Amino acid sequence: MNSVLQMTVNGRPRADVVADNMLLVDYLREVCGLTGTKIGCDGGECGACTILADGGARLSCLTLAHSCAGQVIETVEGQATRGELSAVQSSFHEKLGSQCGYCTPGMIMTSESLLRTNTNPTEDEIREALGGNICRCTGYIKIIESVQAAAEIINASREAAE
Amino acid sequence: MEVLPEFKLHRPGTLAEALKIRGSLDEARYISGGTDLLANIRRGLTPTENLIELSGLSELQRFEADADGLHIGAAVTLATIGNDPAIKQDYAVLAEAANAVAGATHRAVATIGGNLCLDTRCLFYNQSQWWRDSNDGCMKYEGEICHVVPTSKRCYAAYSGDTAPALLVLNAEIEIAGPDGSRRVPLDDLFNDDGIDYLTLAPGEMVTMVHLPAASKSKTASSYTKLRIRDSIDFPLAGVAVRVTQENGKVTALDAAVTGTNSTPIRVTGCDAFVGLEFDEEQGQKFAKLVQKQTSPVQTTTTKPQYRRRAVTAMSKTLTQNLLQALSA
């Protein structure tokens, strides 16, 4: 069964004919061509496919594309503005939060979602938020430092703006 | 993991519409958060030609307190429940159990109704089609025998919902709706001690609402503790919920329930024996024995049943002692 699906992906409104049984991750990768979102475990156990739906972190491998009709979807490709990395992205780069890189898009999207609601997370809060994101290189310490660095950048730029 | 089979996704606007759609179909499944169901469908475990999506229905999003207690719609997410200040205050065991389910990203969409109706789990069931085929399936699905207890006539898959024991010790009632009408029953009546027919819901029925009695006026403490392989994400190897009240150092009420050990959540019976007593080491041991007698983990996980059996008794005793200590302080 196919029907028209409308949603906003990385700021652009889209309308595509999508099958009822298409997962959001397959829609993003195969229909939108946004392969930054990764398929890791494929069953909600690893977090590599995490994207934002209306600002909240979601596992796109456990979400039907049609369930997101009308929502605002963001992927890792939508995080940079005019070629400039987001605070989370640049912090992962600077603090070596990425090793093989496969879990990184999911880590970045979950961190982004956390920092939008809490710009001063404690280490425990960061660990809790990222609890469903698995890094098989096990570079967790650097990942947590990256999120802390991103929080500092966000807070500094806020203060500068005020 | 396998691709999703073909199905039609129905997205009704009201509960009445959802029930009407269900009534018109021979076969369908309800879906809300989908965190467990979609993974199972992909593994070929729960084939369906129709999914009816419930997460957007306002009737199932009701979340309010009145003189009768607290009313939680079945589609309220575990994140909402786990972070709610009033639940943390008055029904701590429920907030803790909700927060112990999977990871934060799952809890953002997973619902209380879905967690209550969570499919039973087993080492021989929650596997790929290829893995299961190499075993000729199992009694629960596409096979004849239970590989856990091969001589058994029933399936031993373990009930693994975390919120059920918490809601049992809080004496929750649930509302059930189906194409033929609705009813309200104690939560205990939802479950059945069988890995295949683990719920008493008739075809087409769903849980629509959880009702909690008004918070107790007496000094109560409640908590949930969970044993799992990875603390950040896994299903329970065993989970224990306890609620106690105490006056002048003596227990005045004690309720306990366990998940993850049997095909149904277990409400521990015989806890009244501790009322009027000081819960000292001797009573603690007796309580642990009581829990041990009523729970029976088998090889449904990679962890040895013997370890889970010992852990669940120790967890029950320690949790109760800690709660009573907190009440005395």
Question: Along the 329 residues of chain B, how does pLDDT read in single tens digits?
Answer: 678 999 999 999 999 999 999 999 999 999 999 999 999 999 999 989 999 999 989 999 999 999 999 999 999 999 999 999 999 999 999 999 999 999 999 999 999 999 999 999 999 999 999 999 999 999 999 999 999 999 999 999 999 999 999 999 999 999 999 988 999 999 999 999 999 999 999 999 999 999 999 987 778 999 999 999 999 999 999 999 999 999 999 999 999 999 999 999 999 999 999 999 999 999 999 999 999 999 999 999 999 999 999 999 999 999 999 999 999 98
Range A37-59 average pLDDT: 95
| A41 vs B contacts (CB less than 8 Å) | 1
The whole-chain average pLDDT of chain A stands at 96
Give the Cα separation of A156 and A25 in Å (integer). 34
Indicate whether B178 and B228 sit together in one domain: no
Q: Which of A24, A47, A78 is the last residue of a domain?
A: A78
We report the CATH number of the domain holding residue B195 as: 3.30.465.10
Taking an 8 Å cut-off on Cβ atoms, the answer to whether B38 and A56 are in contact is no
Give the Cα separation of B252 and B304 in Å (integer). 36
Indicate whether B194 and B267 sit together in one domain: no
Q: Which of A78, A113, A142 is the last residue of a domain?
A: A78
Taking an 8 Å cut-off on Cβ atoms, the answer to whether A58 and B1 are in contact is no
Indicate whether A109 and A74 sit together in one domain: no
How far away is chain A from the Cα of B243, in angstroms, using its nearest Cα?
Answer: 26
Which residue spans within A1-96 are E strands per DSSP?
Answer: 2-9, 12-19, 50-53, 56-59, 72-74
User: Which pLDDT score, from 0 to 100, does residue B1 have?
Assistant: 64
| A110 vs B contacts (CB less than 8 Å) | 105
Indicate whether B171 and B77 sit together in one domain: yes
Mutate to test the interface with B, among A6, A21, A112 (most CBs of B within 10 A): A21
Indicate whether A50 and A98 sit together in one domain: no
CB B100 within 8 A of CB B110: no
Indicate whether A19 and A63 sit together in one domain: yes
Indicate whether B203 and B305 sit together in one domain: no
Residue B192 lies in a domain: yes
Indicate whether A98 and A35 sit together in one domain: no
CB B100 within 8 A of CB B226: yes
| A44 vs B contacts (CB less than 8 Å) | 35, 38-39, 102, 106
Q: What is the ipTM of this complex?
A: 0.95
Indicate whether B224 and B296 sit together in one domain: yes
Give the Cα separation of A46 and A39 in Å (integer). 9
Number of domains in chain A: 2
Tally of CA atoms within 13 A in the half-sphere of A140 that contains its CB: 14
Mutate to test the interface with A, among B2, B41, B101, B105 (most CBs of A within 10 A): B105
Indicate whether B205 and B324 sit together in one domain: no
Domain residues for the domain of A10 are: 2-78
Taking an 8 Å cut-off on Cβ atoms, the answer to whether A1 and B102 are in contact is no
Give the Cα separation of B289 and B267 in Å (integer). 15
Q: Which of A50, A78, A106 is the last residue of a domain?
A: A78
How far away is chain A from the Cα of B304, in angstroms, using its nearest Cα?
Answer: 23
AA identity, residue A90: S
Give the Cα separation of A23 and A39 in Å (integer). 11
Instruction: Tell me whether residue B287 is exposed, middle or buried, using C-beta atoms within 10 angstroms of its C-beta: 0 to 12, 13 to 18, 19 or more.
Output: buried
Indicate whether A27 and A56 sit together in one domain: yes
Domain residues for the domain of B110 are: 58-117+158-213
Indicate whether A40 and A67 sit together in one domain: yes
Note the pLDDT tens digit of each residue in A88-130.
Answer: 999 999 999 999 999 999 999 999 999 999 999 999 999 999 9
Indicate whether B105 and B199 sit together in one domain: yes
Q: What are phi and psi of B204, to 5 degrees?
A: 90, -10
Indicate whether B165 and B224 sit together in one domain: no
Range A23-50 average pLDDT: 95
Give the Cα separation of B63 and B33 in Å (integer). 17
Give the Cα separation of A68 and A55 in Å (integer). 12
Nearest to A67 among B6, B53, B232 (CB): B53
Residue of B nearest to A22 (CA): B4
Indicate whether B63 and B200 sit together in one domain: yes
Number of domains in chain B: 2
